[in-house]
Chains A and B, each alone.
Chain A
Amino acid sequence: MSFARSFRLSGTGAPQLATLAVILFANWLVFPEFFDLRMQDGRLFGSLIDVLNRGAPVAILAIGMTLVIATKGVDLSVGAIMAICGAVAATMASDGYSLPVILIAALAVGLVCGLWNGLLVAVLDIQPIIATLILMVTGRGIAQLITEGQIVTFTHQGLIAIAGSSFLGLPMPVVIAVVLGVAAAALVRLTALGLLVESIGVNRTASTYAGVDSRSVLITAYVVSGLCAAVAGIIAASDIRGADANNAGLWLELDAILAVVVGGTSLFGGRFSILLSLVGAMVIQAMNTGILLSGYPPELNLIVKAVVIVVILVVQSPVAGRLTTFFRRR
């Protein structure tokens, strides 16, 4: 089985990679030192590293979100799950638990959250947008209960190392995102999970009639999403050495959805590519970092972002594809 299949859909993922290249080029225009790298305390240091490092949580969310969207669903609760898992990790860290215990607990909580979403969607047949909205709204409340309304800070060296250490000069979150992305892509493509997910996303009725265990597959997708959110939540907490129940992961579900869409997976479900979603996440973060480096007044942030995204989506849309062939024909 060829691993290249992950890249198969939009041909080679060329539009996504081209988009990323264009954005990086634009960043270089507004900030000529954009590609400069140096070593700092054994860690690579530079704007490019910032893009990777800051984009890591969204990239990790996008892994799970890709699977969920491929089933024709959406998971709005990932931001809230980040907050919950970050809160669990931070509270346990400040109470002095060992790192493995903290990680297992936080991941377990993410798993339970994903399972909850999955059950609502797969068993109770609630529309995904509504089902996950429940946790999106209540999740932060739950996180606040855990943190007792405070920003829980910690000095737990083990947990701090999750976001603060580096491997081969790369920040650990980047390493985690890449490892998870490759592992997830391998999981779905080396097993039949990817096919079944796509099949359900395209036509759930027909898939069920073909004997596909749609429920288990759906639940799996939401559980993976919950686990990814847990990892992102741990990284976010580790990064600021604290858990902010109100703001951790706030609106990141939207960035994750956008990353998946930019990565070429349709919101109508079906064909997906996890690795291209990672590229999508990098596109978004490269744009964010570029805006910060540009020195434009912050009032323009959202406008610039919106314009860039509209351009990306229009350029990648099927209509644009048809238009280009149309003009070539004339």
Chain B
Amino acid sequence: MTDDRSTAHAATSGAPAGPGDHRSGADDAPLLEIRGLSKSFPGVRALDGVDFRLHAGEVHALLGENGAGKSTLIKVLTGVHARDGGEIRLGGVPIDAADTADAQRLGIGTVYQEVNLLPNLSVADNLYLGREPTRFGLRSARRTAAMARELLAGYGLSIDVTANLGDYSVAVQQIVAIARAVDLSGKVLVLDEPTASLDAGEVQTLFGIVRRLTARGIGVVFVTHFLDQVFALCDRATVLRNGRLVGERRIAELGRLELVTMMLGRELEAAQLHRRRGEGPKGEAFLAFEGFGRHAYVNPFDLEIRPSEVTGVAGLLGSGRTETAKLLFGIKEADAGSATADGAPLRLASPRAAVAAGFAFCPEDRKTEGIVGDLSVRENIMLALQARRGWLNPLSRGESKALADRFIKALDIRTPDAEKPIRLLSGGNQQKALLARWLATEPRFLILDEPTRGIDVGAHAEIIRLIERLCDEGLALLVISSEIDEIVAYSDRVLVLRDRAHVGMIEGADVTVDRIVGAIAAEGPATAAGVPA
């Protein structure tokens, strides 16, 4: 069976994307039909009688706010959670997957929102775990590696497949997870926010692969908060809100605003989505980094941080964006240059030192670097503040409760109460709780690495509004994002990175998508004014 599968893949992955009308199947009997699905967790009805139909050969968007129940629907479908009620039919036959492996046997391949591969195994082993190619009945590491290399080449990824998965960035891990799921999906492919950490090129590659699969009659469920991607790729959308079905629509007949209204249950001004923020008065620089860098990590750079200023950071994956953030926050200690705060030398030897200096940092990798999963939402929110106060000076239970409740309300974090373990929150709500953790410390300088990843449109707008408000109150921000639109929307200036070096700073009126894209793509160092001519 193993070999069949892989040869089948080899045969199809090389095949050109057929132009055939794969959307015609939409009116036939559905490939996957879910009826009246219900699932409750203590304190929440995550799914309440939800219907969902997926046709062969279509890409079906599953949309909704953070905590709407999208991931839960997928987990119930693939047997991660047992359902409380309802029926699932695949090709007309009722199914009841016991676990992910069972779902795979039924032909459902899944990429979960939180990458759940094994960081201590090699990339190749992760791709073929449980279905290793054999040679004369024996597992062949060489063949596994060769097949893995070939498979990933289809995604434009040429990496050492024998290295541990954990050594690679989140983006690579996500591609590996996608490649595995695609390879496993005989009938249905489920993608839960697969593009969250991919750059534009990788997203295009993924779309190409998805289209090839639908041409073969595979149905694809696609969860995302990027509405552009919904319109670019999907045929239909099902929208959930608070665990209930809002409706199913053909994308072709759906306007952007209508979709957002369905998701939020209220209207959102179109202008709020991407509004260039107005110029405010900026103060004097209070932080200065000179020749700041670390060997074989980030080339030395100069940077000044002013209050009320948003510095966007743009660059391709691997260009040194996250590395810059980690250097500024003391996670890696700089071995060159100096930092000064209010004119006094500042030694950033640890996050602790950075926090003491009023820095804050929301990391990109939420699961491993952000949340403390088993602790409650309240404890996660109070953590940074408590750490700064020291263990001898505890926040009282009442204080921490008030703090948590304030932020749960302010950021609209969806949780039945502050004592719920944070890992049980939906992805987007975890992200908001992390933001709350740092806002609670009332920082002067906040570094956000992909802050809107996995955050729904409503919350996205709220977070951007929040960023603006904080800036008006004097906070300085450094925001890393793959979403250039977004960077343009709120940045006063944009730092452009390429090959682990700061290659330019685009300021003022030059902050436009074109300028930024140009600077990222340009050869040689960009000039201070923006792109070289």
A positions within 8 Å CB-CB of B: 1-2, 5, 190-193, 195-196, 198-199, 202-203, 205-213, 217, 270-271
A190-B384 contact given A203-B371, A208-B351, A209-B351, CB 8 Å threshold: no
A211-B387 contact given A2-B397, A202-B373, A206-B369, CB 8 Å threshold: yes
Q: Is the CB of B383 within 8 A of A199?
A: yes
Q: Is the CB of A1 within 8 A of B397?
A: yes
Q: Is the CB of B369 within 8 A of A195?
A: no
Q: Is the CB of B371 within 8 A of A206?
A: yes
Q: Which residues of A contact B388 (CB under 8 A)?
A: 211
Q: Which residues of A contact B389 (CB under 8 A)?
A: 192
Q: Is the CB of B393 within 8 A of A209?
A: no
Q: Is the CB of B352 within 8 A of A213?
A: yes
Residue of B nearest to A1 (CB): B397
Within 8 Å of chain A (Cβ to Cβ): is B395? yes
Q: Is the CB of A1 within 8 A of B387?
A: no
Q: How far is the CA of A192 from the CA of B393 in the complex (A)?
A: 7
Q: How far is the CA of A2 from the CA of B363 in the complex (A)?
A: 33
Q: How far is the CA of A213 from the CA of B352 in the complex (A)?
A: 7
Residue of A nearest to B383 (CB): A210
Q: Which residues of B contact A209 (CB under 8 A)?
A: 329, 331, 351, 361, 363, 369-370
A193-B387 contact given A1-B397, A199-B375, A271-B374, CB 8 Å threshold: no
Q: Which residues of A contact B372 (CB under 8 A)?
A: 198-199, 202-203, 206-207, 210
Question: Quick one: which of B223-265 are within 8 Å of A by CB?
Answer: none
Residue of B nearest to A268 (CB): B374
Q: Is the CB of A191 within 8 A of B369?
A: no
How far in angstroms is the closest Cβ of chain B from A200?
9
Q: Which residues of B contact A193 (CB under 8 A)?
A: 391
Q: How far is the CA of A60 from the CA of B347 in the complex (A)?
A: 41
**Contact flags (1/0) for B437-465 with A, using CB distance below 8 Å?**
10000000000000000000000000000
Q: How far is the CA of A270 from the CA of B423 in the complex (A)?
A: 13
A1-B396 contact given A206-B371, A209-B369, CB 8 Å threshold: yes
Q: Which residues of B contact A5 (CB under 8 A)?
A: 397
Q: How far is the CA of A270 from the CA of B372 in the complex (A)?
A: 9
Q: Which residues of B contact A210 (CB under 8 A)?
A: 351, 355, 372, 383-384, 387, 437
Given contacts A198-B379, A199-B379, 18 further A-B contacts (CB under 8 A): A192-B390, A195-B379, A195-B386, A196-B386, A196-B391, A198-B374, A198-B375, A199-B375, A199-B383, A205-B368, A206-B368, A206-B370, A207-B387, A208-B350, A208-B351, A209-B331, A210-B384, A211-B356
Residue of A nearest to B423 (CB): A202
Q: How far is the CA of A63 from the CA of B132 in the complex (A)?
A: 46
Residue of A nearest to B386 (CB): A192
Q: Which residues of B contact A199 (CB under 8 A)?
A: 372, 375, 379, 383
Q: Which residues of A contact B387 (CB under 8 A)?
A: 196, 207, 210-213
Q: Is the CB of A191 within 8 A of B392?
A: yes
Q: Is the CB of B375 within 8 A of A212?
A: no
Residue of B nearest to A217 (CB): B391
Sample 19 A-B pairs with CB under 8 A, ordered by A number: A1-B397, A192-B389, A192-B390, A192-B394, A195-B383, A195-B394, A198-B372, A202-B375, A206-B363, A207-B372, A207-B383, A208-B331, A208-B351, A209-B331, A209-B351, A210-B351, A210-B372, A210-B383, A212-B387
Residue of A nearest to B361 (CB): A209
Q: Which residues of B contact A207 (CB under 8 A)?
A: 372, 383, 387
Q: Is the CB of A192 within 8 A of B374?
A: no
How far in angstroms is the closest Cβ of chain B from A240?
38
How far in angstroms is the closest Cβ of chain B from A326?
8
Q: How far is the CA of A5 from the CA of B376 in the complex (A)?
A: 13
Q: Is the CB of A205 within 8 A of B369?
A: yes
A203-B368 contact given A209-B363, A210-B384, A213-B352, CB 8 Å threshold: yes
Q: Which residues of A contact B383 (CB under 8 A)?
A: 195, 199, 207, 210, 212
* Residue among B368, B369, B391 with max Cβ neighbours from chain A (10 Å): B391
How far in angstroms is the closest Cβ of chain A from B331?
7
Q: Is the CB of B374 within 8 A of A202?
A: yes
Q: Is the CB of B395 within 8 A of A192?
A: yes
Looking at the complex, which one of B355, B374, B393, B395 makes contact with A211 (CB distance below 8 Å)?
B355
Q: Which residues of A contact B386 (CB under 8 A)?
A: 192, 195-196
A191-B391 contact given A209-B363, A212-B352, CB 8 Å threshold: yes
Q: How far is the CA of A171 from the CA of B390 in the complex (A)?
A: 38
Q: How far is the CA of A191 from the CA of B396 in the complex (A)?
A: 9
Q: Which residues of A contact B390 (CB under 8 A)?
A: 192
Q: How far is the CA of A211 from the CA of B373 in the complex (A)?
A: 17
Q: A-B pairs with the 8 shortest C-beta distances?
A: A211-B355, A192-B394, A211-B387, A212-B387, A192-B391, A210-B384, A270-B374, A193-B391
Q: Which residues of B contact A205 (CB under 8 A)?
A: 368-369
Q: Which residues of A contact B382 (CB under 8 A)?
A: 195
Q: Is the CB of B384 within 8 A of A211?
A: yes
Q: How far is the CA of A196 from the CA of B375 in the complex (A)?
A: 10
How far in angstroms is the closest Cβ of chain B from A14?
18
Q: How far is the CA of A210 from the CA of B372 in the complex (A)?
A: 10
Q: Which residues of B contact A271 (CB under 8 A)?
A: 374
Q: Is the CB of B352 within 8 A of A203?
A: no
Q: Which residues of B contact A202 (CB under 8 A)?
A: 372-375
